[in-house]
Amino acid sequence: MEPSYSQKISQRQWSQPDKGQRESQREATFMDDIVQKDHLERQVLGALEGVETVFDGGGGCGRFSIPLAKRGLRVTHFDISQPMLDKAQELAAQAGVLDRMTFVEGALEDLSAYRDGQFDLVMSFDAPVSYTYPNQERVLGELARICKKRLLLSVSSRLGSLPYLANPLNKNQFILDSSCGDPYVKWCLENKDAMVEGFRFDKGAAERLLDNGLMGGQAEIDEYEQGGVPWCITYCFLPQELRGILERLGLREIRMSGPGAYARTVPHEILQKIMNDPQQKRDFLDFCFVYDQNPYVLGMGKDNLFAAAEKSSE
């Protein structure tokens, strides 16, 4: 596999014209995204001591960068997708924070424009690091290099992703409102029976993912070359693997969690009832935040593995 293919495929996937709008509505559509964003927001808010400058690598539509700019921080919002950047700028303008944000189109594979320790806080959420295969370890090193104080990131979780290979209806469990009109929700509902009918468990695929952590490859390259828009080639990390990489980079006080580990055990109807009751929702999210940081479940988050680390001052 040519190293450039992951970047090219990611760029095409995330640069679809409707991506910006769809991504900006995730938390209004799917309950797993509500849980994951809440967890990450809490982690971010707890990491702001002494922070003035922020780099958000793979910032998308500004789910985290815009709120930080509203708190007075100077934020570099970096993304591979121009439609994402356009939507983020639109939302930043509405929030009145354009003067505190810099928007940059680029790929995480090349952060050479930034100097060592340029940003107090470096963030990269929703697994863009995993989409840089086979360069994921080098990219982690670059994120650590430009970080001065604190690194927060989420990558694709190998153990968390494996259940998807036995569950073609994984997003159906988390639909908040089946009548919301979202095109992807509509597709999930309309294709439910066909997905079940056509499903066959592939033991070999599960064993390969467990063994090498790689989702995608030649089939995605072929689809890309034929003009298609395949899902990104993705490297999925094991918890101990990610911790080991961060330790080798000299980072310290590493904390990890698996956002969504608790929520994925709850049946759709019950989860929907919880999310539609403000008090139950608050209580549930409070408990999820604690549960999902337990070291015995962190690998089984919805599909992301979160890590926070401090940059040594030495």
Q: How many other β-carbons are positioned within 10 Å of the β-carbon of residue 273? A: 13
Contact 109, 132 (CB under 8 A): yes
What pLDDT does 14 receive? 79
Measured between alpha carbons, how far is 65 from 228 in angstroms, rounded to an integer? 31
Cβ-contact 11, 107 below 8 angstroms: yes
Query: Percent of the chain beyond pLDDT 90?
Result: 82
Per residue in 161-193, pLDDT tens?
Answer: 999 999 999 999 999 999 988 888 999 999 999
Query: Of 93, 102, 91, which Cα lies nearest the Cα of 21?
Result: 91
Rounded distance, CA 183 to CA 175, Å? 12
The mean pLDDT of the chain is 93
User: Which of these, 263, 238, 47, 252, lies nearest to 152 by C-alpha position?
Assistant: 47
User: Bridge-partner residues for 306, per DSSP?
Assistant: 154, 257
Structure-token match 């707890």, residue found? 46
Angstrom distance (rounded) from CA 144 to CA 83: 27
Residue 310 burial by Cβ neighbours in a 10 Å radius (0-12, 13-18, 19+) = middle
User: Per residue in 236-293, pLDDT tens?
Assistant: 999 999 999 999 999 999 999 999 999 999 999 999 999 999 999 999 999 999 999 9
The token duo for 171 is 């997003």
Cα→Cα distances 154→45, 46, 187, Å: 16, 16, 27
3-class state of residue 70 by DSSP = helix
227-239 as b/e, with b when 16 or more CB fall inside 10 Å?
Answer: eeebebbbbbbeb
Q: Is 117 left (phi over 0), alpha (psi -120 to 50) or beta?
A: left
Question: Residue 199 has which token pair?
Answer: 């499903």
For residue range 101-160, list pLDDT tens digits in order: 999 999 999 999 999 999 999 999 999 999 999 999 999 999 999 999 999 999 999 999
Banded model confidence at residue 1, pLDDT cuts 50, 70, 90: very low
